[in-house]
Amino acid sequence: MTLRHGLALPVVLTFLSLVAFGANAQQATAPAASATPAQKQIAVRAGRLIDGKSDKPIENALILIEGEKIVSVTAGGAAPVGVEVVDLSKATVLPGFVDAHTHVLLQGDITAEDYDEQLLKESIPYRAILAARNAQIALSHGFTAIRDVETEGAMYADVDVKKAINKGEVPGPRMQVSTRAMTPTGMYPLTGYSWEIQVPKGVQYVDGPDEARKAVREQIMFGADWIKYYSDHGYFYSANGDGVLHSHVNFTDEEAKAIVDETHRLGHKVAAHAIGSDGIAAALKAGVDSIEHGDGLTEAEIDEMVRRGIYWVPTIMVGAYVAPGRGGNWPKMVETEKKAFQLGLKKGVKIVLGTDAGGFDWKGLNEALEFKYYVDYGMTPMQAIRTATTGAAELLGWSDKMGSAEAGKWADLVAVSGDPLKDITELERVKFVMKGGAVFKNELH
């Protein structure tokens, strides 16, 4: 702007000074912007609290919650005036459970035909809808967190389910996902079809260390929290009668090491499907973080896992469920895993609860049945509970957020009517579920 008169500039400057002074004065006298609204408080009165840390339940515990986190836990404490109280005084309250081995995009696969039909006849969008339903089923059973270990041909749909839950679009547990999983070419279904037909694959095929590293990068780029690969297939007992469950190893040592090294370099962890002793040995050599299934674990392999702090997710219930329908070695494998479990328990291997839900129909079995197997195989009820709470939280890297009912942790709580320390099957009858301070289910009114 050009000023044509000599007095114009002083006048303008004086005017601007007055405007600025008025604005500053108004700002000084205006009320301060309101602080962030206080988060809602709620108190839970627990008749008995198994907090995930203590050796014995806390009687008449008061759990004070603010927002999505626990503020305090006190025995016999009183709720602050005006705070809503959820009365679970006749129930046993526990931290929310973790299922560390699920397949939300699968609906049971006792036979190869069961599996193939889902990949051939169901679209990925349709399977994702069922996955959202399955996530809600898991939450209703008290599983407030799950680790989903591959989509079985549904690409990255597990990332979408997780996103929808996190955004509050659908109810479900907290999720860590592993997207597509990996095997070398031809080592995982669908197989046996005409070479003239391109059929879906249940995993991402990778061959060679370079492809393995690229696949890791790609899966993490699209949202994988974990990387999962299949270490073996074709489970058999040798004719020499050594009693060891053997298997055919999928990847070369160089390929498996490339998967693990690249995953660790990028700050993630690796889970390996490994059922036979040979596949387990190969996975341990590669440096994986968890062994999935592990039916054929030998004493030497268990000792190595204990020494290196490697986790075992045994998924007992699914093996027992599918064995009659699959026949062959599968019934004997159930007994083999039982012996391995008892030996691993004795030696102190880190056992984390996982069910392989999706290997059985989500609508058919309650995941909490896995607890009963652990107790039947020699764990105390408290030990079994910790495989799905503090132990599982450690595996997921969430020990600072969950796994126990204490101050600073997420307010993820479940409740049952009876005492699971006397009858572990009480955990199959969860009556109350809270996730992040919000009540999802309450049948204890």
Residue range 368-392, pLDDT digits in tens: 999 999 999 999 999 999 999 999 9
For 249, the token pair is 């190893």
Structure letter (DSSP) for residue 401:
T
Phi, psi at 432, each rounded to 5°: -145, 135
How do residues 315-340 score in pLDDT, each as one tens digit? 999 999 999 999 999 999 999 999 99
Q: How far apart are CA 278 and CA 184, in angstroms?
A: 17
In the block, tokens 């005006």 appear at 82
Angle at 125 between CA 221 and CA 183, to 5 degrees: 50
Listed in sequence order, the residues at least 6 apart from 410 whose beta carbon sits closer than 8 Å to its beta carbon are 68, 69, 70, 96, 144, 401, 402, 435, 436
pLDDT in tens, 403-438: 999 999 999 999 999 999 999 999 999 999 999 999
Rounded distance, CA 288 to CA 283, Å? 6
Q: What is the pLDDT of residues 94-119, one digit of tens each?
A: 999 999 999 999 999 999 999 999 99
- Whether omega for the bond prior to residue 297 falls within 30 degrees of 0, making it cis, is no
Which is nearest to 50 in space by CA: 387, 415, 424?
415
- Angle, to 10 degrees, between the axis of helix 330-347 and the axis of helix 316-326? 160
Distance of CA 163 to the CA centre of its chain: 14
The reported pTM is: 0.91
In this predicted structure, what is the pLDDT of residue 38?
Answer: 76
C-alpha distance from residue 277 to each of 101, 236, 255, 295 (Å): 20, 10, 19, 8
The answer to whether 277 and 245 have CB atoms below 8 angstroms apart is: yes
Long-range pairs, 296-302, Cβ under 8 A, ≥24: 296/235, 296/244, 296/245, 296/246, 296/247, 296/333, 296/336, 296/337, 296/340, 297/340, 297/343, 297/344, 298/244, 298/340, 299/343, 299/347, 301/277, 302/340, 302/343, 302/344, 302/347, 302/349
Confidence at residue 35, expressed as pLDDT on a 0 to 100 scale: 54
* pLDDT of 193 above 90: yes
Answer yes or no: is pLDDT of 24 > 90.
no
Mean pLDDT calculated for residue range 252-260: 98
| DSSP 8-state assignment for residue 34 | P
Report the b/e string of 353-376 with b at 16+ CB within 10 A. bbbbbbbbbbeebbbbbbbbbbbe
Q: State the pLDDT at residue 37.
A: 67
Which of the four pLDDT bands, split at 50, 70 and 90, describes residue 241? confident
**Contact indicator for 441, 435 with CB cutoff of 8 Å:** no
Tokens of 19: 């405007």
SS3 131: helix
Residue 138, φ and ψ in degrees, nearest 5: -60, -45
Question: Which domains, from first to last, does the chain contain?
Answer: 39-96+402-445 (2.30.40.10), 97-367 (3.20.20.140)
Residues written for the chain:
445
CA 353 to chain centre: 10
CA pair distance 187, 242, nearest whole angstrom: 26
> Coil, helix or strand for 230?
strand
Does pLDDT of 10 surpass 80?
A: no
Residues 58, 59, 65: CA angle, nearest 5 degrees: 70
- CA–CA separation, 65 vs 434, rounded Å? 11
> Residue 59: beta bridge partners?
48
Q: For 343-370, what is each residue's pLDDT tens digit?
A: 999 999 999 999 999 999 999 999 999 9
| Percentage of residues of the chain with pLDDT beyond 90 | 90
401-to-69, 96, 312 alpha-carbon distances in Å: 9, 12, 22
Report the SS3 class of residue 384. helix
- 439 in Cβ contact with 433 (< 8 Å): yes
| SS3 (DSSP) at 441 | strand
Reduced to 3 states (helix: H, G, I; strand: E, B; else coil), residue 266 is coil
Supply the mean pLDDT for the chain.
93
The residue assigned the tokens 């993490």 is 220
* Average of per-residue pLDDT across 256-274: 98
Q: Tens of pLDDT along 116-142?
A: 999 999 999 999 999 999 999 999 999
Helix axes 157-166, 124-140, angle to 10 degrees: 50
CA 408 – CA 439 distance, rounded (Å) = 18
Cβ–Cβ under 8 Å, residues 119 and 202:
yes
Pairing of strands 350-351, 311-313: parallel
